[in-house]
A and B are shown apart, each in its own frame.
Chain A
């Protein structure tokens, strides 16, 4: 070998060794990071509870968890001091709601409003996720049935059980935009087997929008609005208005407290979509709250 080539070889070895030293000193952390597979991360806590305020959120109870919910609406604030600003009147809705599977939830309830017994099924086929299999939104579906438990208003007429029934179906599409803000759109359909007069429609369509703004790790501000497609209100036996609600979610351990201001006294779809008679601008505002207490029935 010529001295020249030896010199070249030596310098090459030096170059390669320096390179190697760099590689060895290269951040082990980086090397670890580079070989990690990107996994799919599902977005959690788009909303804190299974209700935004009155209406359902895309959230469900996970498998094996039971949610005992107490919802309460007082009377109208504009009742003044005589009515203790509505606090003299009370409307309550109690329900037990259970996660059968992570994507399937069922619930049963009973409310003061029209002495309603209600039941619902909610499924969540698609979850918002990032990473390997990313998907931009979470989608849930809710179907509910409501049985009016009031005595028949006109004893002269012949009523059947089916006349007590109302049904609602809702599609929920929500997206969590970062850790602080979530938005949901809720196309809804309500069918009532029996309505007050021929002028009142049996079918109502509505589109809802709900949002959550997280202000601390345990407190968030929520708002919810449903635009109800109704015929001219003056033709109805009683004019109905769009339900609009504002509230605060406060979370502690296994409880979620939701404090609410709303123009609707009904706490279920048949009530707030079909029978909201209050108007915000008239001061027909109800204060209220939802309390959710979660019990783990089945350990994982």
Chain B
């Protein structure tokens, strides 16, 4: 009897421990900015899902492409229909880790410099990327931020010659993921 109770106790303990040290959001913000002499284009997605595991620094991000909001509706339609082909490739994903996770003290509030590395998939094309960013540890969660450049052509997103001068060759991507502990 005692054995069963202690076994149940151990299982319960592990059950509680599961998911510990993980931080999650479904309202992360990713925006991109394209600058040319002719036109500046920005789009913001405020429904980004992300999870960060503080134990090993693993990071997973899912971006629903059709949630990017543009100033011009027509541009948004073109983005989904002609460039990223959202119906065919509805999600962009990132799967990787914070390479210097050991330097982040998730118990002590403060801002820590981090480097993130991993695989990013956009438009069905997967590439290794890395970016510098910060993890801000707060009392009730963490906020991860990065800013990096991305070349759409790397992901097989074709930009026709007619609009070549309106769309930058490299986009600036800004990420802000305010995650709550789970």
Contact = CB atoms under 8 A, between A and B. Distances in A.
**Bound pair: A and B?**
yes
Interface of A: 1, 5, 8-9, 12-13, 16-17, 19-20, 23-24, 27-29, 31-33, 35-37, 39, 41, 44-45, 62-65, 178-179, 217-218, 251-254, 294, 296, 299-300
Chain B interface residue count: which class?
35 or more
Contacts of A16: 10-11, 14
Contacts of B26: 35-37
B6 interface: yes
B129 to A, nearest CB: 16
A31 B24 CA distance: 10
Contacts of A65: 72-74
A32 B77 contact: no
Interface in B58-106: 58-62, 64, 66, 69-74, 77-78, 80-82, 85, 87-88, 90, 93, 95
Contacts of B2: 1, 5
Contacts of B49: 32, 35-36
A38 to B, nearest CB: 10
Contacts of A63: 73
Interface of B: 2-3, 6-7, 10-11, 14, 17-18, 24, 26, 47, 49-51, 53, 55-56, 58-62, 64, 66, 69-74, 77-78, 80-82, 85, 87-88, 90, 93, 95, 160, 162-163, 166
Contacts of B10: 9, 12-13, 16
A36 B51 CA distance: 11
Nearest to B91: A33
Nearest to B69: A300
Given A8-B3, A35-B24, A28 B77 contact: no
A181 to B, nearest CB: 12
Contacts of A29: 60, 62, 93, 95
Contacts of A252: 160, 162-163
B160 A218 contact: yes
Contacts of A41: 66, 90
Given A45-B77, A300-B71, 14 more contacts: A9-B3, A23-B18, A27-B95, A29-B93, A31-B51, A32-B24, A33-B62, A63-B73, A179-B87, A217-B81, A217-B82, A218-B82, A252-B163, A253-B162
Contacts of B71: 296, 299-300
B24 to A, nearest CB: 7
Contacts of B72: 65, 296, 299-300
